[in-house]
């Protein structure tokens, strides 16, 4: 039996509010305080997916190519990414994360995981409640990736 419209709306509202509050808290945890959320997202994308063109990065981050070009220029200046000619098509340029960029992503992820783990431990959740959170996170990921 499908969920009612009212149930879907209530769930959407509750989920949105909880997600935004949690995301805001986690975004404060950074290894480099001068990296914006948009810049961090690009670095994380490159770390996870490997080298990409500016167009591919723009599409993944849902921004325009000129916006992504500016972001990449700033990240190049900071030493977090490099531009590399594509091996198959020398006219095309790939954006590749550097060791420094990888280190910032790794350190930021560790800081965010530690902060969230600390918050969870302060609340004395039971194993069943933690399993519920893991199950909910899988469902949230499914919604986010659709």
Closest CA to 41 of 108, 87, 93: 108
Q: What is the CA radius of gyration of the chain?
A: 19
> 105-139, pLDDT tens digit by residue?
999 999 999 999 999 999 999 999 999 999 999 99
> 29-61, pLDDT tens digit by residue?
888 888 999 999 999 999 999 999 999 999 999
In the chain the domains, ranked by start, together with CATH numbers, are 5-144 (1.10.10.10)
The region that residue 117 occupies, defined by phi over 0 for left and psi between -120 and 50 for alpha, beta otherwise, is alpha
Environment class of 14 (CB within 10 Å of its CB; exposed 0-12, middle 13-18, buried 19+):
exposed
Is residue 48 classed as helix, strand or coil in its secondary structure? helix
């Amino acid at each position: 039996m499908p969920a009612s419209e009212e149930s879907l709306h209530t769930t959407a509202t509750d989920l949105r509010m909880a997600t935004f509050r949690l995301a805001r808290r986690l975004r404060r945890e950074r290894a480099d305080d001068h990296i914006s959320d948009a810049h961090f997202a690009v670095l994380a994308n490159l770390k996870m997916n490997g080298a990409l063109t500016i167009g591919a990065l723009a599409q993944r981050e849902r921004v325009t190519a000129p916006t992504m070009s500016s972001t990449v220029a700033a990240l190049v200046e900071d030493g977090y990414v490099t531009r590399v000619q594509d091996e198959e098509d020398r006219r095309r340029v790939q954006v590749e994360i550097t060791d420094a960029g990888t280190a910032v992503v790794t350190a930021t992820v560790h800081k965010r995981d530690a902060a969230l783990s600390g918050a969870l431990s302060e609340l004395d959740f039971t194993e069943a409640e933690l399993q519920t959170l893991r199950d909910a996170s899988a469902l949230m990921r499914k919604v986010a990736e659709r």
